[in-house]
Chain A
Amino acid sequence: MRKLLLAFIIILTTFVYLGRLTYLQLIDNSSQNPLDDTAIKAVYDYPERGHIYDRNGKLLVDNQPSYDVMVIPREVKPLDTLEFCTLLNITTEDFDKKFRKANNYSPRLPSVFVQQLSKKEYAVLQEKMRKYEGFYIQKRSLRHYITHVGANVLGYISEVNERDLKNNTYYQSGELIGRQGVEKQYEETLRGRKGVKFIQKDRFNRVIGSYKGGIYDTLPVPGKDIQLTLDIDLQAYGEKLMQNKRGGIVAIEPSTGQILTLVTAPSYDPALLVGRERSKNYTQLYYDSIAKPLYDRGLIAMYPPGSPFKAVNALIGLQEGVIDENSTVVCNGGYHYGRGAFMRCHCSYGSINDMNRGIYRSCNTYFASTYRKIIEKYPSAEEGLNAWNEHVKSFGLGDFLGYDLPIGKAGRVPSATTYNSIYGENRWFATNTISNSIGQGEILTTPIQLANLTAIIANRGSYYTPHIIKKIENDTIAHDFIIEKHTSIDPENFEPVVQGMHDVYEKGTARFLKIPGIEIAGKTGTAENFTRIEGKRVQLTDHSIFVAFAPVDNPKIAIAVFVENGYWGSRWAGRISGLMIDKYINGTVSRTDLEAYVLQGSLIDEYEKPLGGESFYINDGKTYNEWPKPKEEEIPQSKAINTPTTDE
């Protein structure tokens, strides 16, 4: 026993070790992955990224080849430096400097030696490249922008970062990924799929041939071209009109839900984010925290919708049967709805408004009364508000809408829960929520939601989810975009509201903005807004809002425009809407007076006010007062609502 113990342990160990070797070398083949092996090099074949066209087939974005001279310092053999430098158009000092830099980074890994050669330089160099061991030419593909507008829609591409690499195993360091806009949304469509070839090398790092006869190799799948619903001429015109202003324009084709224009201002030239200057330009755009050129106001800015929302309340009133188009409300220059609570209106004392007048004169009293009737139709305010909420939500408000761009905001439609948390259960009434009647208070919308709302009115109750994609090469667009959706309002209830909105142009707040030959229906709006200066809530000049669609009987375009701190609806947004509609339908602009006003006008001074560090006037309109403010223009809501809560 004593003699045998060690021998026994030795034999046992031998068997265990042979077993372990059997497992490692014969059974487990996890370490035979070709990507893990230094002797097998994966060479990628990148397909060309898909082109982007506008709705009329105009090419917006394609690709430009770019050639980089790469170097692997360790593999460089003595060469005719002078000749090489002449070819590359650099000095010998440059050569030494670049070479040292590459060598410091890594003698074994490729570094970029000279960036982005022109095609001509490349043609000359290509012939002679064989002579220079250790150098080679890497072809890359960069985006090439034919258009200079629509940066917010097109988006941009950039190198993948650590997080992308972690989230998606497709990408490898140094590859490109869509970052914003359609480049991001349709990344996989545009990108295609890279192909890979595995190449076997010997111990001298020489290529012997393909690894295992190419059984692991794959062919690249080319990227697909896409056509957008964007009208690039209209987009360009919209961006031009918005110069020196901040805000957005969203135009939708009501019959299809196609987005015709999506302007955010200020914007930038998409070509800035390509090529050698990319990083510098991006930093500059990114850190502009005042003008925020990278912030897509059309999709993610949220505002109280203001007066355009009155149309929704009129529709709900009709649907709920609490009013009909002939119901009248007497307006005594405002609406009393509680002890000391009074909502002002610009109607003169004793005005008698039916629905039509209520809409085109934008009478606050009329809609406050209508809203109250809707809520009080139900036994409790809670039920009434929830019924109202259901109707409002059927217009696509308070929801991301489901359009095909990667950013968005849901907005907000208050429900009973909202007020329960403010006032407590059963401790509030229709009057506490009266601001909803005129699109103020707790309700918030984004411009694209407002444009969609306009399209719904234009369609008399139905809509298609707004979308930017028109066609994908050899593919179909998402099914959801071709399904018609309906609101909870019956189509016949829309007619009086459409008529009212048409009369806004005929008799109302936009009668100065009529476009010859086009019947337009629209609605002005004004939204209060605030900022914080040194921790104090400070009110700024109201936002100018306008929604419109045209022609009234066969709508081709529905549009929502808002101009930050533009003071009142027709002043900026109304003019811009008319010009855009004219441009889209007629292809020309007949109201050159409006155009001149908009193009010459600037709100830069207005935007600088809160930055000046001094007290300032708002809603003064001093600079551009040559256009008389229409008398019927609604009173800015800050003055309209006189409840004890608004000043808090």
Chain B
Amino acid sequence: MNNFIKSIDWFSILLYACLVFIGWINIYSTTYSSDHQGLMNLDTFHGKQLMFIIVSFLTIIITLAIETKFYERFSSVIYLATILSLAGLFLFGKNINGATSWYAIGGMTLQPSEFAKAATALALANFVSDIQTDLNNFKDLLKAFAIICLPALLIIPQPDPGSALVYLAFFFVLYREGLSANYLLVGVFGAIVFISTLLIGTLWVSLITIVILILWYFITKRRKRKISVFRLVTITIVTIAVSYSVSFIYDHVFEQRHRDRFSLWLRLEHNPAELDHIRKTIGYNTYQSESAIGSGGFSGKGFLEGTRTKGNFVPEQHTDYIFSTVGEEWGFMGSGLVVLLFAALVLRVIFLAERQKSSFSRIYGYSVASILFFHFAINIGMVIGLLPTIGIPLPFFSYGGSGLLGFTMLLFIFLKLDANRINEW
């Protein structure tokens, strides 16, 4: 036991505790009203969240108490159980705010997708760490994809596309474990074509692509590793085809609300008055959260003094937009600190993962880091207006029992694995 206390990574636990504590403080602030309510009043969000924190603490003890080998051995079982629970939502799920993502048990609700991330990470780690698995073997790669995509496909129709998007995080893991860089390049290439098509139109994308590839041909002509004309032409045709299909999908498959999000994000509307109008209507949430954060200034307005927070200007402020409270009440000091704390935690997890002897632990740890990073980057990016609106929670911060429990288990299973690394061989 002494050994265990020594070997567990207290630095990660400290970061975790800080984030949970700051998160709760801010939930308290958003739901605070002048009528004094007890901290444990279960009618308030902060009261419930405090209870979830206590439950999480118990969960941590249980998670750490379980034998390390259990996670590896039972990963398939856990994964299957999760898949079943996701599928079961179609039959028994409870609809809240238009999404059937919850089971109602007694007075509480449970959101299985929050636990599915940990389960998927375990299953993927188990499969990839198998000595016989080779990610450059197409069949194995397909299996790995299947493990990742199955829960995502079950989550999309809930509908909760934001949570499904998080499963893209696992590509970092696969890449780390030997997936060909070409997949990554294709992904980056696709993203560039998509965004530039929206920004400058298909015609310019086609022209620029042709110019770049012709230049590329002439520059590499004299070298040994010169590119074949056939490949160049293929790339050009593919680019133009992708660009055309992007603009077709954007105009004909996307709904207006989707287009509005992109046009706001990429500032596709050039008329300043019209843009301002879009910002205040379609981009209302983002506009309000940016204003709230901006009004915090350097040192913030102070705890419970956030006027926009108090005036309920920012919608969903206790869940997805919790970071705007940090920005308003604690200013640049507070919001900068939170960003640094998250970065520190994710980097710490990567560092820990890299020192694992067991490849199962390493892959799982890498998954944890990727998932946390994805959530952190997408959520804060949305709140500060750098990314389009994608509704996913900020880990450890956002109000919600399932989320807090899910992220806590995700992290502490890894800390347990890490604490046990000396016993591995």
Contacts and interface: CB of A to CB of B under 8 A. Distances in A.
A79 interface: no
A204 B34 contact: yes
Contacts of B373: 6, 9-10, 13
B173 to A, nearest CB: 9
Given A14-B343, A38-B310, A25 B296 contact: yes
A6 B370 contact: yes
Interface string B339-354: 1100100110010001
Contacts of B297: 25-26, 29, 32
Interface string A9-41: 111011011101110111011111000111110
Q: Taking chain B's interface residues, is the majority helix, strand, or loop, or is none over half, making it mixed?
A: helix
A18 B339 contact: yes
A31 B291 contact: yes
A273 to B, nearest CB: 36
Contact of B295 (A13, A14, A32): A32
Contact of A21 (B178, B293, B307, B310): B293
Interface stretch (B101-109, B197-205, B217-225, B328-336): B328-336
Contacts of B354: 3
Contacts of B140: none
Interface string B118-152: 00000000000000000000000000000000000
Contacts of A30: 294
Interface stretch (B208-216, B239-247, B379-387, B397-405): B379-387
Interface residues of A, number: 32
Contacts of B340: 14, 18
A13 B377 contact: yes
A14 B178 CA distance: 26
With a 10 A CB-CB cut-off, give which of B34, B327, B339 has the most chain A CB atoms.
Answer: B339
B34 A17 contact: no
B339 A14 contact: yes
B375 interface: no
Contacts of A14: 339-340, 343
Contacts of B307: 37-40, 203
A474 B186 CA distance: 77
A17 B327 contact: no
Contact of A24 (B308, B327, B346, B366): B327
Nearest to B294: A31
Given A13-B377, A17-B384, A24 B294 contact: yes
Contact of B331 (A17, A25, A203): A25
B305 interface: yes
A5 interface: yes
B265 interface: no
B183 interface: no
B116 interface: no
B57 interface: no
Contacts of A290: none
A166 to B, nearest CB: 12
A422 interface: no
Nearest to B173: A6
A21 B175 contact: no
B343 A25 contact: no
Contacts of A40: 307
A30 B290 CA distance: 10
B86 interface: no
Interface in A33-61: 36-40
Contacts of B272: none
Q: Taking chain A's interface residues, is the majority helix, strand, or loop, or is none over half, making it mixed?
A: helix
A25 B327 contact: yes
Nearest to B169: A6
A17 B380 CA distance: 8
Nearest to B305: A203
B254 interface: no
B304 interface: yes
Nearest to A28: B294
A7 interface: yes
B314 interface: no
Contact of B298 (A11, A13, A26): A26
Interface in B271-299: 290-298
With a 10 A CB-CB cut-off, give which of A13, A16, A21, A37 has the most chain B CB atoms.
Answer: A21
B417 interface: no
B419 interface: no
B38 interface: no
A11 B343 contact: yes
A10 B327 CA distance: 21
A24 B384 contact: yes
B98 interface: no
A479 interface: no
Given A17-B381, A21-B335, A203-B310, A6 B369 contact: yes
A2 interface: yes
A36 B293 contact: no
Nearest to A6: B172
Interface in A190-210: 202-204
Contacts of A32: 294-295, 297
The 9 A-B pairs of least Cβ separation, nearest first, read A31-B294, A39-B307, A31-B291, A38-B311, A14-B343, A25-B332, A24-B294, A31-B295, A38-B307
26 contacts: A2-B176, A5-B175, A5-B176, A6-B370, A7-B347, A7-B350, A9-B373, A10-B350, A13-B343, A13-B381, A14-B343, A17-B380, A17-B386, A18-B339, A21-B327, A21-B384, A25-B293, A26-B297, A31-B290, A31-B292, A31-B295, A32-B297, A36-B291, A39-B305, A40-B307, A203-B310
Given A20-B384, A21-B327, A40-B307, 10 more contacts: A5-B172, A6-B370, A10-B350, A24-B384, A25-B293, A25-B298, A31-B295, A38-B313, A202-B305, A204-B34
